[in-house]
Amino acid sequence: MKRISRCGIGLLSFWVGAQRRGLVAVALGGAVFAGSCAAPGSGGDEEGGVRYEVVATVGMLADPLREILSGVEGVVVTQLIGEGVDPHGHTPTRQDVIALQRANLVFYNGLLLEGRMGDVLARTGGGSRPTYAVAEEVVGRGGWRGAERFREGDPHLWMDVSAWVVAVDVLADVLAGFDPDHEETIRGNAREYQEGLSDLDAYARTAVGSIPEAQRVLITAHDAFHYFGAAYGLEVHGIQGVSTESESGLRDLEALVSMVVERRIPAVFPETSVSDRSVRALQEGARARGHEVVIGGRLFSDSMGQPGTYSGTYVGMIDHNVTIIARALGGDVPERGFQGRLEP
Ligand SMILES: [Zn+2]
């Protein structure tokens, strides 16, 4: 995975240089993918036509890409892994492979989030088109709140909104370099979107800060909330590991049951893209020892809500999580969340 990201960044500088020298199509079009990396507007640029296609693996990248590209005509953004699907265990489909082969730019999270997708990205992306591991680039750039608590092998950076502000910089830099004629719009959109993210980040801090201190403990189905906890001040425990591919051990579960009972933790949280079996087992275990722990609302961890809904956006996803967590753990939050848009 690392190799691809470096290749992507290397390709970018090569791309910019080659573009200046007018060499793009020759230099980047491999035998199989000839022309798919052609500069935007260099072919098929009739009124209303598609100038280029951007492919992203997950919604947490596709949604910001759409925001940044708003008003830039002739660009198609395709998301490969849909709502409710666990990216750790996603097996690439034939459509994924076709979309990747057709893409002019490919963005993925990296840090091994897209488990089995890695091979396909290497096969279709590596040598022939700019391919970017966005979270890996965010780690490299730094400048986000939880950066000092970066954890090797944990891909869930989007949970820290300040990290995703940096991710928007990464996306905007690539897009502006690829489509220089629309740089002004791209940069303007990115700045505006980042301002909204900063407001969301402030809301998350206030909301979590309103939870009584002893109850700032977040227990979820899998270990996706480390950066969330680091950014907003919660102690975090995932019943399963960082990847949903790992099973939770019985001993781990019993240790968590003891903790929930002893500390009288009021709620635990299932996730939309992960089986809630382990969360239910935890609840049963606590009940058997005389402590009733509520199953909090389902959190969006590695997958957003339905397309076209508020929780189907990155902002809505985080708002949903923050508001549900804060409320279930005894915090004080507005009924409909950060700007009153949360679905009841
Ligand atoms: Zn995950």
pLDDT in tens, 34-67: 233 444 654 444 457 999 999 999 999 999 999 9
Q: Please state, in angstroms and rounded to a whole number, the distance separating the CA atoms of residues 257 and 259.
A: 5
pLDDT band for 160, please (50, 70, 90 cuts): very high
Residues with CB under 5 A from ligand 1 (ion): 224, 302
To which H or E segment does residue 55 belong? strand 52-56
Give me ligand 1 centre to Cα 27, in Å.
37
> Quick one: average pLDDT of 88-95?
90
Domain boundaries, the chain: 2-201, 207-328
Give me ligand 1 centre to Cα 110, in Å.
12
Give me ligand 1 centre to Cα 248, in Å.
14
Residues 6+ apart with CB under 8 A from 36: 29, 101, 102, 103, 104, 128, 129
Give me ligand 1 centre to Cα 269, in Å.
14
**Identical topology for domains 2-201 and 207-328:** yes
Give me ligand 1 centre to Cα 184, in Å.
35
Architecture of the domain whose range is 207-328: 3-Layer(aba) Sandwich (3.40)
> Quick one: average pLDDT of 127-141?
90
> Is 303 in contact with 81 (CB distance < 8 Å)?
yes
The residue with tokens 């909104």 is 161
Give me ligand 1 centre to Cα 236, in Å.
14
> Quick one: average pLDDT of 197-202?
98
Q: What is the pLDDT of residues 137-154, one digit of tens each?
A: 999 999 999 899 999 989
pLDDT band for 284, please (50, 70, 90 cuts): very high
Residues 6+ apart with CB under 8 A from 245: 88, 89, 115
pLDDT for 344: 82
pLDDT band for 248, please (50, 70, 90 cuts): low
> Quick one: average pLDDT of 11-15?
33
Give me ligand 1 centre to Cα 237, in Å.
13
The better pLDDT of the pair 129, 219 is held by 219
Which residues partner with 219 through β-bridges? 237
Query: Which homologous superfamily does the CATH classification assign to the domain defined by 2-201?
Result: Nitrogenase molybdenum iron protein domain (3.40.50.1980)
> Quick one: average pLDDT of 68-96?
94
